[in-house]
Amino acid sequence: MKICVVGAGAIGGFMGARLAQAGHEVSLIARGAHLEAIRQNGLKLVQEGEALVVRDIVATDDMTELGRQDVVLMALKAHQISAVVGQLSSIVGPDTVMVTLQNGIPWWYFQKLGGAHEGRIVESVDPGGVLARAIDPDCLIGCIAYPATVISEPGVISHVEGNRFPIGELDGSISERAQRVSEAFIGAGFKSPVVDDIRSEIWLKLWGNLSFNPISALTHSTLEGICRFPLTRELAATMMTEAKTIAEKLGSSFRVSLERRIEGAEKVGRHKTSMLQDVEVGKPLEVDGMLGAVIELAGVTDVEVPTLKAIYACVCLLDDTMKAESIYLKGRSRVA
């Protein structure tokens, strides 16, 4: 398959390296020092103490160079996608499958769902419905990324744990194209079942993201630290309980208990969440996909979420403060 990874960060790079190793024609969309390192040295994946360097891989910041793809892995964070929408037509043809890998509530959540909310725009992640208008929902397959990975240095992805990538059609059907994508993922060493309720899978992953990510960003603590400290463990459980009520009102269900979900996060160990990693390097935080959209859906379902709102306010302030300090420091640099 011709596979383009749009956003070859920690997760996208991990998937790209493994898929290339499995024999697929993989191209990566990246930028900055990470892109230059991949171009010069190949993409290095460190896993279980061993290093794999993939050199036969195309890396670029211009997707118009690549041509139509069989599969596009949309691995950008939710707030980054609108910036590349204008280039997608160069790689997405009538038979292209776009697999979305965003944390949190995706822009397409109410597309091909049916019922009273069919077609509703999730403004928190898609202001004005830009993505909903630009990306045909018929080309989309949802995917949940469970592995813990980090960019340990430009051009180098370190895999911490996990290899599960469940996928599913937006309408719940078990399609041939979903099975083909699943087979490609499995051939690359991933666990990738085709599920008939991708939204419930989204909520199961989001259950942890909406609690552990913001708490870690605010406290600079790892998953293990949050889960072993009684007060933050209780805070995470309260946030998860509020979110569970929203999800169930929207028709989703949870196949594991709240306590088991927390225990699973604790077992990951001293891993820094993606939001904490972004705090440490000064990147914009993925606030709205993980929390803002959930609070928006609380309004849709008439669910009270005081704890989610309080943590959301704190993380939004953190994000704004980081942006202001970044602008200030850049200004100081120019003056100097």
Residues classed as catalytic:
205
Q: At how many degrees (to 10) do helices 258-268 and 198-219 cross?
A: 60
Q: How far apart are CA 12 and CA 262, in angstroms?
A: 25
- 329 CB contacts (<8 Å, ≥6 apart)? none
CA distances in angstroms from 95 to 51, 91, 133, 255, listed in the order given = 35, 11, 18, 33
Nearest to 13 by CA among 150, 165, 193: 150
* Cα–Cα distance, 183 to 171 (Å, whole number): 20
* Per-residue buried b or exposed e for 31-64, using 16+ beta carbons within 10 Å of the residue's own CB: eeebbebbbeebbbbbbeeeebebeebebbeebe
